[in-house]
Structure 1
Amino acid sequence: MGFLNRAVGRTAAVALAVALGACASNESKEDVEPVDLVDFAPSVQLREVWSADVGSIDEKRYAMLQPGLADGKLIAASSDGEVTAFDRSSGRPQWETDLDIELSGGVGVGLGIAVVVDYRGRAVALDLRNGAQLWTYQVSGEVVSAPAIGSSVVVLQTVDGKLVGLDASSGEELWSQTTTLPVLTLRGTAAPVISGGLVIAGLDNGKLVALDARDGITRWEQRVAIPQGSAELERVVDIDGSPVVRGDLVFAASYQGRVVALSKENGRGLWARDASTNHSVAVGGGHVYLSGASGSVYAYNVGAGQIAWSNNELLRRELSGPAYFQDVVIVGDLEGYLHVLDPSSGQFIGREEVDNDSIRIPMLVDGDLLFVLSDDGKLVALTLARS
């Protein structure tokens, strides 16, 4: 879980984060440490195709530098400002650009460009062909998620509640929309997505909004989570995982709130279930998969939202969001393990240690390859083999 933001300053935010992350003093040591991994007989294996070192990722400030994939290239960035394009299949470097800035958000790809953002809110667009810098834009707030690119626009979401639409060719601002933030929020923001001319974004107030990509006008707004309780900690309901669009449905989940399925056309709710996560969900095989804030993994029926199964054997292992890959479910953890789950039962069917540092950044699925980036900057392309 990311740490917390509060309007009164970072010191209070960090103190509150410690309070939120700590358990009650009368709990046993076993109740606060990650559970030990259980043994099982694997039936699938994740095999490394290629790997590379892209530079370290600033986990403490919750940089969310998810790689982007376009035109046969995988674009990865480090917090030190190095942006590298790799051949998607072989891992051979295609170009490298050193921006000499501290990157916090990215990598957004599409329309022939890759866009990254630094901690001061400066967005930089690079040519996908050769890494040449095309334009820059200064947004008012910090960005710690990937920009969305599509429908001729680049959309940035800031930690201070603003959505900004830029012309993808020039970087000129086309529109902006500001949301009033709650008193207390998690550190981080959901990366917006663009689908069918709509910008769909999860907000720190627990709402999901759809804007027209051309002019930023709100097309619909739907509340995913309703703040509960009297204490501000209890009322944190951020949506920090990107919405997932499948056909005419949008799936999203919030912290201390719900997981929902909505109509992409008008935001009408199809179903909602209580849940708590700060990651995106994954969809596939007739289910919606969610890594809970406690470390449990859940599967919900796509059509009606009933819980199909839950796996509680990874508690407190600080799981990544799930990925649906080659008909299996995969989650990463704080020790660099990837856990492979059967999508019909939730049972473990495989495990692979890809690094000794945490896997927090969302994984990327593309056909027969799964791309994983750890917090120490190890980028790995994997394929799935069945016994």
Structure 2
Amino acid sequence: MKSLTWRTLTSAAVAVAFLAACSSTDEPDFAELGPIDEQVSPRVQWSTNLGHGSDEFFSRLSPTYADGIIYAADRHGRVSAVNAENGRRMWQTDLSPDKPFSLTSVFRKGPPARLSGGITLANGVLYVGTENGQMYALDAATGDINWEVNVPGEVVSAPAYGEGFLIAHLGNGLLYAMDASNGEERWRHEEEVPTLSLRGTSSPAIASGGVIMGSNNGRAAVLILESGQIAWDERITAPSGSTDLQRMVDIDATPVVRGDTLYLLSFNGELVALQLRSGDVLWRRDYQGYRTPQVTASRIYLTNSRSHVLELDRINGNERWRNNALYGRSLTEVAIHGNYLISADRFGVVHWLDRESGRLVGRHELRKDGIQVAPLVVDDKVIIQTNKGRLIALSI
């Protein structure tokens, strides 16, 4: 029972606990907002209600976009297609179980589907998984269910699609490969899961005929997509420290491939650049986090465990600038929008940073509606999904 209790810790709670343990008693747990040199004036263009949101649970249900439509979901089970121009709902599919009939059932929302892993969009199909161990494929044009299957574990991160395969990294450490057309199992790969780890798993990545995964025990591996055989398996970071919390080395951030280089970030470990085909380490830098870095042709933009935002040189990992003015606010990954970086926090504030200098140049507050997932840039708009189930388009 101990293992189950530890595994129910959320990533956000663990991060906050880690920060509190490392901070001095006279330092506040999070940064208060101060004055900024405002160069960006965001405004709400439209707002749409998706459903019940994520409640108090940690969620990675990020919206996605294609061909003028935003696809988003809430934890309870509603998957929606929304017109990106005006916020009007085009269709909505409810994946939650039917609630038992009673005289009062009409006033209750019924049991949740516990959507948690997704949304992944590929070839006109939406893929989303649940903590109940189910995977769904929906027609992106209509919301109709193409297929649904049971999988042998919780789906707590977005699955990856490539070459007709759908790959899910399950909460029990299993890497599970399915036929994307019908959900049938193709192969599975097991890994050891430590007793104490973050609530979540790294989404896999697919590149060059291989499946790239980061594990909760600090290892990274590339498996052959067609068969699931291991191409290489390397320890990225080793546990260290005197407490179980300090020895957590989860790779919860999605592996990022740029050219022939693979970038991996671990919670209490490092940011590592490796050769994709061999796993040889090119460089290591002492940065920790569980948010996926943004990697461009020449730069890496990183939100670390302390909610510092950093710009690094992609070739050698050298730090170019750091903004620590938002420490402890549980910042999301950054999104790139022209000359700006955009991140949001658990207090419902969206922040704009200048890409060249890292200075804060804009903010927008969303009435204390917390945000866990990264902003989505759609043309001239920034799309925000809040914990309470609102989808909001901001423009500047």
Within 2, Cα distance between the matches of 1:11 and 1:226? 20
Instruction: Select 1:161's aligned residue among 169, 173, 181.
Output: 173
Instruction: Select 1:23's aligned residue among 16, 20, 24.
Output: 20
Alignment of 1:262-301 (within 5 A): 262-284=274-296, 286-301=298-313
SS of the equivalent of 2:246 reads helix
> Could you say if the C-alpha distance between residues 346 and 43 of structure 1 is closer, same or farther in structure 2, counting changes exceeding 3 Å?
same
SS of the equivalent of 1:199 reads strand
- Cα deviation, 1:262-286, whole Å, max 9, x if unaligned, reads 2333333222101111111112373
- Cα deviation, 1:284-313, whole Å, max 9, x if unaligned, reads 373211112112112111111111111111
Question: Is this contact kept in 1: 2:272–2:284, CA < 8 A?
Answer: yes
TM-score, normalising length: structure 1: 0.89
What is the one-letter code of the residue matched to 1:80?
H
Question: Is this contact kept in 2: 1:20–1:233, CA < 8 A?
Answer: no
How far is 1:133 from its partner? 0.7
Question: Is this contact kept in 2: 1:200–1:210, CA < 8 A?
Answer: yes
SS of the equivalent of 1:376 reads coil
How far is 1:351 from its partner? 1.4
Within 1, Cα distance between the matches of 2:7 and 2:175? 26
Check if 1:232 corresponds to 2:229: no
Within 2, Cα distance between the matches of 1:33 and 1:75? 35
Structure 2 residues not aligned, in runs of 5+: 97-112
Within 1, Cα distance between the matches of 2:264 and 2:359? 24
Question: Is this contact kept in 2: 1:153–1:167, CA < 8 A?
Answer: yes
Alignment of 1:56-71 (within 5 A): 56-58=52-54, 60-71=56-67
SS of the equivalent of 1:344 reads coil
> Could you say if the C-alpha distance between residues 78 and 237 of structure 1 is closer, same or farther in structure 2, counting changes exceeding 3 Å?
same
Instruction: Select 1:95's aligned residue among 85, 91, 108.
Output: 91
Number of aligned residue pairs: give it. 378
SS of the equivalent of 1:181 reads coil
> Could you say if the C-alpha distance between residues 198 and 362 of structure 1 is closer, same or farther in structure 2, counting changes exceeding 3 Å?
farther
Within 2, Cα distance between the matches of 1:7 and 1:152? 39
Q: Which residue does the alignment assign to 1:330?
A: 342
- Return 124-133 or 199-208, whichever deviates more: 199-208
Question: Is this contact kept in 2: 1:109–1:148, CA < 8 A?
Answer: no
What is the one-letter code of the residue matched to 1:207?
R
How far is 1:226 from its partner? 1.8
Within 2, Cα distance between the matches of 1:234 and 1:338? 30
Check if 1:222 corresponds to 2:234: yes
Within 1, Cα distance between the matches of 2:94 and 2:30? 37
Question: Is this contact kept in 2: 1:341–1:347, CA < 8 A?
Answer: yes
Within 2, Cα distance between the matches of 1:358 and 1:153? 34
SS of the equivalent of 2:20 reads coil
- Return 175-184 or 317-326, whichever deviates more: 317-326
Within 1, Cα distance between the matches of 2:70 and 2:140? 10
Check if 1:8 corresponds to 2:3: yes
Within 2, Cα distance between the matches of 1:168 and 1:40? 48
What is the one-letter code of the residue matched to 2:197?
T
Alignment of 1:245-264 (within 5 A): 245-264=257-276
> Could you say if the C-alpha distance between residues 337 and 20 of structure 1 is closer, same or farther in structure 2, counting changes exceeding 3 Å?
closer
Instruction: Select 2:256's aligned residue among 231, 235, 244.
Output: 244
What is the one-letter code of the residue matched to 1:118?
T
- Return 274-283 or 19-28, whichever deviates more: 19-28
How far is 1:214 from its partner? 2.0
- Cα deviation, 1:16-38, whole Å, max 9, x if unaligned, reads 9599457359943x524321112
- Cα deviation, 1:27-57, whole Å, max 9, x if unaligned, reads 43x5243211120221233344433111233
Check if 1:136 corresponds to 2:148: yes
Q: Which residue does the alignment assign to 1:170?
A: 182
Percent identity, aligned pairs only? Answer: 34
Within 2, Cα distance between the matches of 1:47 and 1:211? 45
> Could you say if the C-alpha distance between residues 301 and 82 of structure 1 is closer, same or farther in structure 2, counting changes exceeding 3 Å?
same
What is the one-letter code of the residue matched to 1:50?
W
What is the one-letter code of the residue matched to 2:119?
V
Question: Is this contact kept in 2: 1:57–1:63, CA < 8 A?
Answer: no
Q: Which residue does the alignment assign to 1:83?
A: 79
TM-score, normalising length: structure 2: 0.87
Question: Is this contact kept in 2: 1:78–1:377, CA < 8 A?
Answer: yes
How far is 1:205 from its partner? 1.2
Which is richer in strand? 1
